[in-house]
Structure 1
Amino acid sequence: MVKELKAKNASELKEKLAELQKNQFDLRMAKGNGQLTKNNLLKEVRRDIARVKTIIRQQQIEANKAGNK
C-alpha cells in the first residue's frame, strides 16, 4: 500500500485522505449506533490516515529541499 501511495501526487493523496476521514467518520457513527461488528476497521483506517499524512509530509520536505538548492 505504501508504494502505491508514494506514487501518487499531492492532490491524489489529499483526495485519498478525505475519503479515509469520511470512512472513519462513518465507522465511528456505526460504532456509536452499535452497528459496527468489526472493531478493527477503526484501527486500520486510523493507521491508513497516518500513512497518507506521513507521505504528504515527506513529499513537502522533498519539495522544500529541491527548492532550496
Structure 2
Amino acid sequence: MKAVDVRAMSADQLNDELAKLKKEQFNLRFQKATGQLEKSSRIQEVRRDIARVKTIARQKAAEAKA
C-alpha cells in the first residue's frame, strides 16, 4: 500500500482500512503460532501499513483542527 493511496481515503475509509489490517495482523500472528504461516514477510508489511494508516489519519485530524 502506497502513502498516496492512503492519503486519497476519507477518515471513515481510513478507519475501515485500519480495522481490516488489524484483523489481518491477528490472523497472521495466529498462523505463525500454529506453524501455518507461509510468507513471514507479510507480517512486517502489515505492521508498516498499520503505521502508515495511523500516521496519515493523525495528520488529517490535525489539518481538520487547524
TM-score tier (shorter)? over 0.9
Segments of structure 2 that go 5 or more residues without pairing to the other structure are none
Matching of residues 1-69 of structure 1 within 5 Å = 1-65=2-66
- Provide the aligned C-alpha RMSD in A: 0.5
Following TM superposition, where does structure 1 have runs of at least 4 consecutive aligned residues deviating by more than 2 angstroms? none
Code of the residue aligned with 2:62 in structure 1: it is: I
Segments of structure 1 that go 5 or more residues without pairing to the other structure are none
Query: Identity of paired residues, percent?
Result: 49
Give the distance between the partners of 1:14 and 1:25, measured in 2 at CA: 17
Give the distance between the partners of 1:3 and 1:37, measured in 2 at CA: 29
| Rg comparison, structure with higher value | 1
Code of the residue aligned with 2:59 in structure 1: it is: Q
Code of the residue aligned with 1:12 in structure 2: it is: Q
TM-score (normalised: structure 2): 0.95
Give the distance between the partners of 1:51 and 1:9, measured in 2 at CA: 14
Q: Per-residue deviation at 1:35?
A: 0.3
SS in structure 2 opposite 1:30?
Answer: helix
